Amino acid sequence: MAKKSKQSKILPIYILNGPNLNLLGVREPEVYGYTTLAAIEKMCADQAKSHGLAIVFRQSNREGEIVDHLQEARTSGCAVIINPAGYGHTSIAILDTIQALKIPVIEVHLSNIHKREPYRHNSYVSKGATGIIMGLGAQGYLRAVDAVAEILKVSK
């Protein structure tokens, strides 16, 4: 069952986005697509609502701020969906924080990192994630919301 607060309200899914994702739609659209981060946020909010859930949606270019958001989600969220972007390949700090969470974590990548440059093939975040969705573009976020709903046993 979904994690609830003291007021018996289902806590939101934290959807966290790493560096440069604020440039979606204009940065390398042949790799990342034309969908903006604002459009992805709206899509995720609608998808979560269809499952009776809400979201907290954030983006940061700063590793420490992402760690802060993850720590907040530990007590204020029912799950995390994270697109760590470039930090997935470099951040032990984000991995350590994810491993401290007691809630589901779904890692999302817009592109298939295994079809890209060799340095992108490894994701530290994957080592702590409940599941991984990649290569589906913006639709990957929606599949992640569906996965969280299923994991939490929340019906439509």
Nearest to 54 by CA among 84, 112, 13, 20: 13
Q: In the beta sheet, which residues pair with residue 81?
A: 15, 106
Of 14, 51, 109, 124, which residue is the catalytic one?
109
Rg of the chain, C-alpha, whole Å = 15
Strands 13-17 and 105-109 come out as: unpaired
What does the block give as tokens for 129? 């994630």
* Strand pairing class (79-83; 131-134): unpaired
Q: Where are the alpha helices (DSSP H) in the chain?
A: 29-32, 37-50, 63-76, 92-100, 139-151
- Write out the two tokens for 35: 């969908």
Q: Which of 14, 32, 87, 141 is catalytic?
A: 32
The yes-or-no answer on residue 87 being catalytic is no
109 is catalytic: yes
Catalytic residue ranges: 32, 109
